[in-house]
Amino acid sequence: MPASPTQRTLAYLRKNGWLAQVTEKWIPGANIRKDLWGFVDVLAIKGTEILGVQSTSYANTSARVKKIEESEHVDAVREAGIAIHVHGWRKVKNRWHVRIVDCS
Which helix (H) or strand (E) covers residue 34, if one does? strand 32-34
The pTM of the full predicted model, rounded to 2 decimals, is 0.91
Output Rg (C-alpha) for the chain, integer angstroms. 13
Contacts by residues 22-30 (CB-CB < 8 Å, ≥ 24 positions apart): 23/52
User: What pLDDT tens digit does each residue of the chain (104 aa) get?
Assistant: 468 999 999 999 999 999 999 998 888 888 888 999 999 999 999 999 999 999 999 999 999 999 999 999 999 999 999 999 999 999 999 999 999 999 99
Domain that holds residue 27: 5-102
Among 38, 40, 46, residue whose Cα is nearest residue 6: 40
How many separate domains does the chain show?
1
Say which CATH number the domain at 54 has: 3.40.1350
Is 48 exposed, middle or buried (CB count within 10 Å of its CB: 0-12, 13-18, 19+)? Answer: exposed
